Structure 1
């Protein structure tokens, strides 16, 4: 099968000398090693694999190489619909692809909309406010601490140790930092939930399955409440302890599994996704956000780390994601089985 891989490299970020960009502007984009690793897995399965990139030249390359299926990990360059750009283009061209559809990707990138969906399912989420301008700060009550982040970014973009604020002075400073650095992106202020951080991986379609539950905590036990800030993410090997399976009761695990599957189905996600939750000291779970396009670096990324701790190799994981996506296209799936 002729397969194309769509992606964005960190080196692809369009930078203008007249426009300043935050230091983490390319944080979600991939290194060439990730693309090469995926290409190697698919090539070893007998496919002809082409690298398509993630801009408008994708159209020309699809026609040039006669692409039959796309393995998509493109994040897009700008706007709250950026993760949906390549999938929407592929749908317009009638090309089958891996991962969620444009609506699922756009809806889940907007953290406030995702939270409202969770609330409609009676799944707890921290109280939150969305700010479109600095003067809207007066609407936020004095119910500290809060956690402050961009409304539609991923990979810890915009999140720092300073994101947890304890008073109004810190809140104003943090909100201003985000508005200054992430133009045209609203700011999400949410109730800070003390406790444990857990991530739930889902894979599959009919039906989707729980791939595993993993807890993230600091290696330094003096730091009680885990925060996946940019500082932590960039030094994860030294600072983060990944506990798999998470040390929670079976009853608690069943609640988390049910929440993740309900959200996966309601968002109509496809193939894979990862859901982040906080567990407060009373054992209640709060939905934080969902990532339907989790990082697939062979060396890092929570989904890949969880898989390795589960005993699933990188090649097996990529192959399973591919086969899961292919299963949504019966004719391609059958043709692939006959190869």
Structure 2
């Protein structure tokens, strides 16, 4: 069966710290779309220019980019100007979700649970941060993903080194209260009132270390999908994921990351608006749990490709 999506570009690669993961995601998506008869073509935004993108003649694009210049609203804005429909969230939602500090401020404003935090820069007095957030705590660059630049701080003397590591990737550093508990994630598909949560996944990494290696390459990490949870708790977390997604005005698809503490209270950590689509990725795993194949998931996401910014000229 051939789907009438026209000429489809799979945007992958890019220039962020997550380029390697994006190359894997894009390759998987491309092969899946080809298997369904879609006229799909790989396009590496880290190698080719916006002029090349404009000249490619794509009728719509699947964004399989992660991190800066692909997931942060910059590319989405360019696609709006080029009038090329695209998968996922629009420029504003992508930019806010990519900024973990802004994301947490939005969630707190609407009453959603997220750990206490502070935004740090080179003028901050690092030694006093644990006095307010407690120990241990987490330091991370707020505009990166895939656990890039993240350090768990267990003592006052760790602050300077942890800050320096995060500051390698960002001009601002997020200090976040460490919540001890089970690591969970919940994918969300759809837009607006049609948004729906997929099953809860629990991530069980060796020694609790869900780093870059264990996230994308190791076979030692265990994923329980659906997670072993009371039904009412799972449903409550799924609703929080959808509420968090809608609060940021996300569209198409996304994935909310949680920590479930020892009292079974869920805490939102971040929202991914262009999640991984590798062999180890979590959205395809949750989709399989409800009977949706990887290829069908890609088709579903592609089917919602659209322009998200309405201008007077476009409306006319």
TM-score by length of 2: 0.86
- The structure whose RCO (Cα within 8 Å, separation 6+) is larger is 2
Q: Which residue of 1 aligns with 2:13?
A: 8
Q: Retained in 2: the 8 A contact 1:111–1:151? A: yes
CA–CA distance in 2 between the matches of 1:109 and 1:229?
Answer: 19
Q: Give the CA RMSD over aligned residues.
A: 2.6
Q: Retained in 2: the 8 A contact 1:148–1:175? A: yes
Q: How does 1:102-141 map to 2 (within 5 A)?
A: 102-133=91-122, 135-141=124-130
Give the direction of change, closer, same or farther, for the CA distance of 1:233–1:134 in structure 2 (3 Å limit): farther
How many residues are aligned here? Answer: 301
- Runs of 5+ unmatched residues, structure 2: 1-5, 309-316
> Within the alignment, does 1:66 sit opposite 2:47 as a pair?
no
CA–CA distance in 1 between the matches of 2:201 and 2:33?
Answer: 27
TM superposition shift of 1:73: 2.0
TM superposition shift of 1:61: 3.4
CA–CA distance in 2 between the matches of 1:192 and 1:325?
Answer: 37
CA–CA distance in 1 between the matches of 2:67 and 2:180?
Answer: 33
Q: Retained in 2: the 8 A contact 1:134–1:176? A: no
> Within the alignment, does 1:52 sit opposite 2:43 as a pair?
yes
TM superposition shift of 1:63: 4.2
Does 189-198 or 39-48 show the bigger shift? 39-48
Q: Retained in 1: the 8 A contact 2:60–2:305? A: no
Give the direction of change, closer, same or farther, for the CA distance of 1:323–1:110 in structure 2 (3 Å limit): same
> Within the alignment, does 1:165 sit opposite 2:146 as a pair?
no
Deviations 1:272-329 (A, max 9, x none): 11001111111111111110110112x122222333444432111111211233699x
3-state DSSP class of the match of 1:147? strand
- Runs of 5+ unmatched residues, structure 1: 14-24, 329-339
> Within the alignment, does 1:232 sit opposite 2:218 as a pair?
no
> Within the alignment, does 1:150 sit opposite 2:141 as a pair?
yes
CA–CA distance in 2 between the matches of 1:146 and 1:62?
Answer: 42
Q: Which of 28, 32, 35 does residue 37 from structure 1 map onto?
A: 28
Q: Which residue of 2 aligns with 1:211?
A: 198
Q: Which residue of 2 aligns with 1:253?
A: 234
TM superposition shift of 1:89: 0.6
Q: Retained in 2: the 8 A contact 1:198–1:215? A: yes
Q: Which residue of 2 aligns with 1:95?
A: 84
Q: Retained in 1: the 8 A contact 2:28–2:277? A: no
TM superposition shift of 1:90: 0.7
Q: Which of 293, 296, 311 does residue 316 from structure 1 map onto?
A: 296
